[in-house]
Amino acid sequence: MRAWAIGLAILGAGCGGAHPTPSSLGSLSPSPLPTPIPSASPSPSPFPTSAPTPGPTLPPEIYPSPLPLRPGVIVPGVQGCPNPQGLETTPLSKEEALAVLRAATSGDPETVRQAYDPSHWAQIDWARLATPATPALPAEARIPPERVTDPRPAGESPYGELIANMCGREVLARSWWVVVCAGPCAEALQAAPALNAHFFLIRRQGRWLIWWVYP
């Protein structure tokens, strides 16, 4: 599961460092883009109506069923798109981004599930969450502020056009982007771009949800 991978990745890096600036983030050298692959059929396979997730049913107005990728597009590791129902255009703050990222790496299955949009649930290793190897670290130790960039519109990310191709420009326009760095972002954005993870979030009914993590 990506949340576990990011949790492990940030443990080995030192603390400290300045917050990233828009200029430093703009110079990010991204990991190679996954290439959309035309499917053999112009009609995509139906997205599963439900993912094998734990816990009670969540409010459908916040967690509606996901939609398939756009016709003719297949992207490795992406099985669905956020349902545009109820998506909001409110900007994402750094504090809100930290809260969602820390929930996603909490190790508690229900807390993790509520941090993600249903379009990402199928990517989560629920069995591993059910049997954690070690207790989760405190929230600030898992995701320190200096290892998260200031949120920016997803259209400014290196993956904006890919998102539009996968899920349409409405989803792109309502998505926000943060990078979780392998170390303090002031250095890691340039020194270790392949070790940084890009998170894309949407807001529905007042709740921020992660819907895509790359790589």
Does 142 score more than 70 pLDDT? yes
| Helices then strands, each counted (H, E), the chain | 10, 4
Domain that holds residue 188: 77-131+138-215
Tokens of 77: 């590791």
Confidence of residue 17 (pLDDT cuts 50, 70, 90): very low
Q: Give the integer Cα–Cα distance in Å for 32 and 214.
A: 10
Does some domain include residue 67? no
Asked if residue 193 is part of any domain, the answer here is: yes
Share of the chain above pLDDT 90, in %: 56
Q: Is residue 206 part of a domain?
A: yes
Kindly report the backbone phi and psi dihedral angles of residue 99, in degrees, each rounded to the nearest multiple of 5, phi listed first: -60, -45
13 in a structural domain? no
Any idea which of 4-13, 112-121, 147-156 has the lowest mean pLDDT? 4-13
Domain presence at residue 4: no
Which residues on neighbouring strands pair with residue 203, listed in sequence order?
A: 208
In this structure, what is the dihedral angle of CA atoms 148, 152, 153, 156, given to the nearest 10 degrees? -100
Give the per-residue pLDDT at 6: 43
Q: Residue 56 carries which side chain, given as an amino acid letter? A: P
Among 111-115, 137-141, 168-172, the range scoring the smallest mean pLDDT is: 137-141
- Confidence at residue 132, expressed as pLDDT on a 0 to 100 scale: 64
Is 36 within the bounds of a domain?
no
The encoded tokens of residue 117 equal 């949009």
CA atoms within 13 A on the CB side of 60: 3
Mean pLDDT of 156-175: 96
What is the C-alpha to C-alpha distance for residues 16 and 147, in angstroms, rounded to an integer? 9
Please check whether residue 192 lies inside any domain of the structure: yes
Per-residue pLDDT band for 136 (boundaries 50, 70, 90) equals: low
**Residue 58 in domain:** no
Whole-structure pTM value:
0.74
Closest CA to 120 of 169, 161, 173, 171: 171
Query: What are the backbone angles phi and psi of residue 24, rounded to the nearest 5°?
Result: -70, -35
The number of distinct structural domains making up the chain is 1
Of 155, 167, 147, 135, the C-alpha closest to 98 is 147
What single-letter DSSP state applies at residue 106? S
Region 116-132 average pLDDT: 84
38-47, 66-75, 185-194: lowest mean pLDDT where?
38-47
Per-residue pLDDT tens for 195-205? 999 999 999 99
Asked whether residue 10 carries a pLDDT value surpassing 50, the answer given is no
Residue 91 and residue 174: Cα distance in Å, rounded? Answer: 9
* Average per-residue pLDDT for the chain: 79
